[in-house]
Amino acid sequence: MRRLQLLTGGESHGPGLTSLLSGIPAGLRVDLDLLRRDMRRRMHGYGRGGRMKIEVDEVEIRGGVRGGETLGSPIALWIENRDFDNWRAVMDPLEIDQKKAELRRLKSPRPGHADLAGGVKYLRRDLRDVLERASARESAARVAAGSFARMLLAELGTEIRSGVRSLGPIGADSPTPTWEEMLGVDEESPLRAIDRTREAEMVALIDQAADDGDTLGGAVTVIAHNVPFGLGSYTQWDEKLDGRLARAVMSVPAVKAIEIGAALTASRGPGSAAHDAIERGDDGQWRRPTNHAGGLEGGVTNGQDVVITAYKKPISTLRRGLPSVDLDTLEPHRSQYERSDVTALPAAGVIAEAMVALVLADAALEKLGGDSMTELEAHHQATLAQQRAWPRR
């Protein structure tokens, strides 16, 4: 990111998670309801393990905000891990019980997880040292920071939503969803599915996978609506907003592929079917009868909805294990099981929303600038006036 910076810290079963978000202008009103709602939404979803019953994911604001308004200084956030109480002997930052730690030691790396690569990279004998930070628990810290980006975007009129598009094979061939379909996603439904008629099937598939000791992946789509025209740039490779969004959303745990708009379908057909016609309405608005491009042309937002789909591999912690090696004997051994989720797709959508919010807020600050929300809003209005007048003057 160019104007915003985000660092997170903390282990899955350590004392808690920290977020440090700098670059948010002064004078943004903190919407606590929104923050709490996002945190709750991330914990929700059929197929999660027992951990989500332990945590409450309450965000404590420890810096950068006074009297409910941002100060322009870094926003410091803290989320306590309730589960730390059960893990103190093994995870205390200063003193651990070696015997208990040995019992919780992870010594057969899980294929698909960071265990092997991280163990070799950081030369850790106990792969717990890898899994604790590679855990998706970290995403709570990102969702908290993403809420502040969402609050900023709301001031510009931009909204972001997501939904589960497919789970395993169910819904895998569904067409790219629209904003109207996103508005229909029921946040309280078991899976936050875009096509609610398929939820029962999805729930049954999760039950089957749980019985089999297996896991499931799928796809989530995020749509940003009413995004300012002209965010990102084609003038340098690393300024293209599609690349910036792809990088951010790819960082959501277990995501292995990204699609902008209807890219997969477009790649299989001719150009005449792939692109979105340009029309000018009587009201002076640019209209596109279709949005195959997913709101991005040349890596620049074009006034249409920004549509991004993330494809998640099945979670790599399987109860029945996978072929691996015991690090003590160096003999073949099934990978170890740690309590885990069967799928975390509904949560992945919420995390992806946070990442999209952070990138769009960053790009909006880059284009519109300002140390305060007052300036940002003035720059936004001036830019809108220029864009409305174009190309006549």
> In the complex, which residues of this chain contact ligand EPS (CB under 6 A)?
12, 49, 51, 83, 131, 135-137, 139-140, 317, 338-341
Q: Which is nearer to ligand EPS, 187 or 279 (CB)?
A: 187
| Nearer of residues 158 and 317 to ligand EPS, judged by Cβ | 317
List of residues 6+ apart from 112 with CB closer than 8 A: 313, 316, 322
Minimum CB separation of residue 146 from ligand EPS in Å reads 14
DSSP conformational letter for 157: T
Nearest approach, Cβ of 17 to ligand EPS (angstroms)? 9
Structure tokens at 124: 């850790």
Q: Give the chain's count of helices (H) and strands (E).
A: 14, 17
Q: Torsion-angle region of residue 193: left (phi > 0), alpha (psi -120 to 50) or beta?
A: beta
Q: How far is the CB of 137 from ligand EPS (least distance, A)?
A: 4
Query: In angstroms, what is the minimal distance from the CB of 339 to ligand EPS?
Result: 4
Give residue for tokens 């499931």.
Answer: 216
How is 250-288 classified by DSSP, letter by letter?
HTSTTEEEEEETTHHHHHTS-HHHHS---EE-TTS-EE-
Instruction: Using the minimum distance from each CB to ligand EPS, give the nearer residue, 254 or 376.
Output: 254
Closest approach of Cβ 342 to ligand EPS, in Å?
11
Based on CB atoms, which residue is closest to ligand EPS, 12 or 324? 12
- Choose between 92 and 155: whose C-beta lies nearer to ligand EPS: 92
Q: Which is nearer to ligand EPS, 39 or 65 (CB)?
A: 39
CB atoms within 10 A of CB 337: 14
The whole-angstrom separation of Cα 345 and Cα 315 is: 10
**Phi first, then psi: what are they for 156, rounded to 5°?**
-95, 0
- The nearer residue to ligand EPS, 190 or 303, going by C-beta atoms, is 190
Region at 17 (left for phi over 0; alpha for psi -120 to 50; beta for the rest): beta
DSSP SS3 for 305: coil
- DSSP code of 324? E
Closest distance of CB 109 from ligand EPS, Å: 13
Residue 250 or 384 with smaller CB distance to ligand EPS = 250
- Six-digit token pair at 188? 């309280």
Query: Tokens standing for 267?
Result: 């790649």
The token pair at 259 is 């699609």
